[in-house]
Structure formats: structure tokens, C-alpha cells
Amino acid sequence: MKLSRRLIPDVTTLQAFECAARHGSFTQAAHELNLTQSAVSRQIKDLEEQLGVLLFERVRQRVVLSEDGRRFLPEVRKLLHQTEETMLRAMASASSEHSLSIATLPTFGSRWLTPRIPAFLAQHPGTIVNIASRSAPFDFDEENFDLAIHYGQPVWARAACSYLCSEVILPAASPELLESWNLSEPKDLEAAPLLHLATRPKLWAQWFELNGGASDTAYRGHRFDQFAMVIESAVAGLGFALLPRYLIEQELASGRLAVVFDRPMETQNSYYLVLPEGKLENPLSQAFRAWIAKEVP
């Protein structure tokens, strides 16, 4: 598709707009950008003429975003961020033959994927990886990733999902907390302090239903939005947690965590490798898919 150069603003002009909007001042924006106040004012005026809208209003010696300016600002910030990411990614891979950009779930990436990446790179020397965390599906057309690792159902717009593995969780706690509670059967945990993953609030209720406990008390306790925080809270003795075994391999091996009851439960969703439609035949992505399929638990 041929782009109209008339509709593409200069990046420095967008930087001036974002900076002025953040400070509420052309003078402060000029100071940050090492420009004169008149240069910033001229850039904003040129941008307004190009858009055909007023971006700022003057109020008591300050400039305040207009309604059009408030709608425009989030898009500008996203574009500037993407531009910076594109440049950094290109600079990082400038001396390499190949690069692979991976979006992954935060805790899966830090605790399972990253420690294993050296094995993949050993098979593909000269490859540079860019790994970023994403907790939910995104638009591959807007974010330049070669693939993503997704937990949920195999549904992703304009992309193909390949099954990796199911998820099995079990109750774990610090040895000190475990010793302080006289637990002989799963229902004894009903009165214990429980830790919850905020995005999956029903896990304890489902586990109790499978193991003869009452689910009406299963929602009590501290909540965290990442498995990594749940794990660290369990290690600190804050409560009992339902955790995937593969995420706590190191804690179990070192004795920082212990399995409370060997009563695993398979969750309703699974892990998938996701490839965007435009990159289905990318050789490095295909190599990564074959490699990770052998590595997953």
C-alpha cells in the first residue's frame, strides 16, 4: 500500500506535541528538547494545520490540551513508543544474522522460558532474541512480534495457535507455614490463609470441590495479579498457594516451598504457541516451535 507523505508527520513534531502536553508548557517542552520556545510553538502550529484541528488552548499562562488534543495524545505516545522499540530492536540485531521477537506471559517467560533459551540459541548461533511480556492477546499488526506464548483458548485474531501443553496446579507453601498448621486432609485448608491469582479467582474453589472441601470459604485471602508475586508470597510464608509445578521447580528443589497435598488439578485452559498469519512460514519461528514443543512439561 502506497503511503501519502502528506499524512505522515515528522517524529520530532510529535515529540514536541507529546512533551508540551506532558508539561502543559511550550517553554518546559523546549527546555527538555533543547529547542527554543518559538521552535516548539512553530512545530505545534504546523501539526495543527496539518491535522486541521486545535490541539491546545491557552489558559492562565499555560497551554491545556483541547478535546481533539486529548484524543490525539494516546495515539502519539503509542506511535513514539513503537518507533523507539523498532529502532532499538534494529540496533540490537544489527550485527546478527537472524532475530526473533517473542511475546510471552510474564512468569512463564522469567521462570521457565528464559532459563532454557540458551539451549535454543546454541542450536541457532548468531540469533538475537527479543523477549517481552504480554498478559493478553494483542494485534500482531500493531506490535512487531514473530510469535507469542498464550494461555487460554486457541483463539487469536489473524493468527494460528499450536497446542503446547496443559497446566496442572497443586497446593504449595513454605515449610515453616506448613509446620505451623496441623493438616491431615485437604478440607483442613479451608481455615488456612490462602493466596490467589487475581486473574483466576476460582482456582481454590474448584480445587476444594475436587477434594471434598467447601468452596464457600475459598475466596478469602490475599490477591496478586502475577504468578511470580504469588510464588514469592508463598515463599515468604504469607499463605498457601495453588501453583503450576513447572513454575516452582527451583523452590521445590531448594526446599523453599513444599507440596502440601499431592492432589494436582488440571486447569480449564492450556498453553499455545501463536504465529501471526503473515509469518507462518518464518523458518526461525518454525524452528522455535519445534524446539519448545520438546521442552514443555
- In the predicted model, what is the mean pLDDT of residues 117-142? 93
Which amino acid is residue 244, in one-letter code?
A: P
pLDDT band at 93, cuts 50/70/90? low
Count of C-beta atoms within a 10 Å radius of residue 4: 6
E strand or H helix at 132, and its extent?
strand 127-133
- What CA–CA distance (Å, rounded) separates 251 from 174? 9
**pLDDT tier at 167, thresholds 50, 70, 90:** very high
Q: pLDDT class for 4, splitting at 50, 70, 90?
A: low
Rounded to whole angstroms, the Cα distance separating 235 from 258 reads 9
User: Residue type for 219, please?
Assistant: Y
Alpha helices in the chain (DSSP H): 11-23, 26-33, 37-51, 67-92, 106-107, 114-123, 175-180, 203-210, 227-235, 249-254, 283-295
Section 246-271 average pLDDT = 95
pLDDT of 62 reads 81
Residue 211 and residue 262 in contact, taking contact as beta carbons nearer than 8 Å: no
Q: What is the mean pLDDT of residues 63-67?
A: 92
The mean pLDDT value for 88-97 works out to 61
pLDDT bucket at 297, cuts 50 / 70 / 90: confident
pLDDT band at 92 (very low <50, low <70, confident <90, very high): low
**What is the rounded distance in angstroms from the CA atom of residue 253 to the CA atom of residue 160?**
36
pTM (predicted TM-score) = 0.71
* Per-residue pLDDT tens digits for 5-47: 666 778 899 999 999 999 999 999 999 999 999 999 999 999 9
* Mean pLDDT calculated for residue range 44-54: 92
Per-residue confidence (pLDDT) for residue 98, from 0 to 100: 83
What was the pLDDT predicted at 131? 94
Across 87-101, 131-145, 165-179, 238-252, least confident range: 87-101
Q: Which pLDDT score, from 0 to 100, does residue 9 have?
A: 74
pLDDT of residue 221: 95
